[in-house]
Amino acid sequence: MTAIELFETGLEHLKNKDLLKALACFEKAYTREKTPALQSYYALCIATERGQIHKAIMLCNDAIALEPDNPVHYLNLGRVYMKANRKIDAIQTFRKGLSCGDNEEMNNILESFNIRKRPVFPFLGRQNLLNKYMGMLFARLKLR
């Protein structure tokens, strides 16, 4: 099989949540051809299956350096950070990825974190009526 065929097979295994088979495919493809997409997915699999977080972060960052406008690389790096229990880094990475392009999966992950925006008036409490209604107004006007 060529590197492209192995990559596509790995993606299918990844969709089916069979990470071990996906890792095998990505690993074989990565030894044959080192593309940013392969690096990114290979990094996700080694972090998840082997626990090689540091190596995975390096591979994802290399992929981002080669293709900085590809939101999938940010998605995979964010997942690696989540695996390493580095929630703040994951959130920052997902947000940076969304600035490169819309990605439904990143949006869903960020929504699952239930992150609240800062109050409009931080010197008042979050439950203050002024903060509540100004926050709703700004959200409707899409100013926040």
Residues 28 and 43 both lie in one domain: yes
Residues 90 and 23 both lie in one domain: yes
Residues 71 and 138 both lie in one domain: no
Structure token pair of residue 36: 């940013």
Mean pLDDT of the chain: 91
Residues 101 and 124 both lie in one domain: no
Residues 89 and 141 both lie in one domain: no
Q: What CATH number does the domain containing 67 carry?
A: 1.25.40.10
pLDDT tens string for the chain (144 positions)? 888 999 999 999 999 999 999 999 999 999 999 999 999 999 999 999 999 999 999 999 999 999 999 999 999 999 999 999 999 999 999 999 988 888 899 988 988 887 777 889 989 988 999 999 999 998 888 887
Specify the DSSP element, H or E, that contains 46: none
Q: How many domains does the chain have?
A: 2
- Alpha-carbon distances, residue 93 vs 54, 97, 109, 137, 142 (angstroms): 16, 6, 12, 28, 23
Residues 91 and 121 both lie in one domain: no
- Alpha-carbon distances, residue 58 vs 14, 43, 65, 68, 81 (angstroms): 21, 8, 10, 14, 12
8-25, pLDDT tens digit by residue? 999 999 999 999 999 999
Residues 42 and 18 both lie in one domain: yes
Model confidence, pTM: 0.78
Residues 68 and 100 both lie in one domain: yes
Whole-angstrom distance, CA of residue 24 vs CA of residue 91: 29
Boundaries of domain holding 16:
3-113
SS3 of 54, please?
A: helix
Residues 15 and 71 both lie in one domain: yes
